[in-house]
Amino acid sequence: MGIASGIIKRLLYPHHLWRVISLQWNRKKVNRTYDDAQLKLYHQLLPGDFLHYGYFSDPAIEPQDITLRMVYDAQEQYGQNIVDLITDKESEILDIGCGMGGLLRLMNKQGYKSIALTPDKNQVHHISQTYPNEILGIRFEDMEMTGNKERFGTVITSESLQYLDQDISLPMISALLKPNGRWIACDYFRIGDAAEKSGHEWPSFLEKLSKYGLKIISQRDITPHILPTIGYVNMWATQIGMPIKDFALGKLKVKAPGLHYALEGSLPLIEQKIDKNIKTIDPVEFAAKKKYMLLVIEKV
């Protein structure tokens, strides 16, 4: 009864009700770009300072055979695959959407001069406390171009291109690169009618590259190597998360039948939301609608 009475109190008392309405009304005004709690959670779960899918050398590994150590190692390998493509060892490198700095760590180990860019304040704080690199706490589209044109030998977007406006960011990347500089992009693209709309459409991306004087000089489809991570997360969601959810609802019905009754009308909508989210971490669904590419791009 304690939980139910607490909810009722916050709905019936005027000052509590106004607080509920105010928080709900203003929720969209908080820009996730600058304080993404979801990415912060990922970092707490994955301590290697990476926020991407990772790269499994053996794409045939079964989800039930994967350990957390393997996930950490896969994330390290993903980062190393990118660093290995850097050819200009002397010029500055710009890591756009640097996350928690995993790539910075790998590049620092090899003596590269890398600069981090992220608008997320949690990431800015972590990197400033952990790494000696210069960090730009802004959106890439807001980066000042004066004095930065042809500054970088390498620009990297590691699972961050999907968040960028192509018509703004592509000409900016081209302008930032030195002659013969290279843009290393590692990200997924939509190739079908994906229910989950994250990622740019692959044909559209190729058109944009041509429009802004950029050309792919090397490409590798690494989809099979990132699918084990998706399968691993899907296994936890379906085989552990869903049973725990059903158990919790069953307990709620027994221990707090009034509260369960009050929520009952919303349960189908909650189930729909859960099913939709689980589809985004279905490896078969992902492979049918998206492909994950490791690209090296240069100015034409």
Q: Please state, rounded to an integer, the average pLDDT across all residues of the chain.
A: 83
| pLDDT score for 293 | 98
Mean pLDDT to the nearest integer, 220-237: 92
| pLDDT score for 262 | 79
Q: How confident is the model at residue 1 (pLDDT cuts 50, 70, 90)?
A: very low
Q: How confident is the model at residue 242 (pLDDT cuts 50, 70, 90)?
A: confident
- In this predicted structure, the answer to whether residue 236 has a pLDDT above a threshold of 90 is no
Give 45-81 pLDDT, tens digit per residue: 454 556 788 999 999 999 999 998 999 999 999 999 9
| pLDDT score for 24 | 47
Looking at domain 34-300, what is its CATH homologous superfamily?
Answer: Vaccinia Virus protein VP39 (3.40.50.150)
Contact 90, 153 (CB under 8 A): yes
- In this predicted structure, the answer to whether residue 224 has a pLDDT above a threshold of 60 is yes
Domain boundaries, given as residue ranges, for the chain: 1-30, 34-300
Q: How confident is the model at residue 240 (pLDDT cuts 50, 70, 90)?
A: confident
Give 168-196 pLDDT, tens digit per residue: 999 999 999 999 999 999 999 999 775 56
Q: How confident is the model at residue 30 (pLDDT cuts 50, 70, 90)?
A: very low
Q: Which residue has the tokens 């993404």?
A: 36
Residues in the chain: 300
Q: Full-prediction pTM beyond 0.85?
A: no
| pLDDT score for 245 | 77
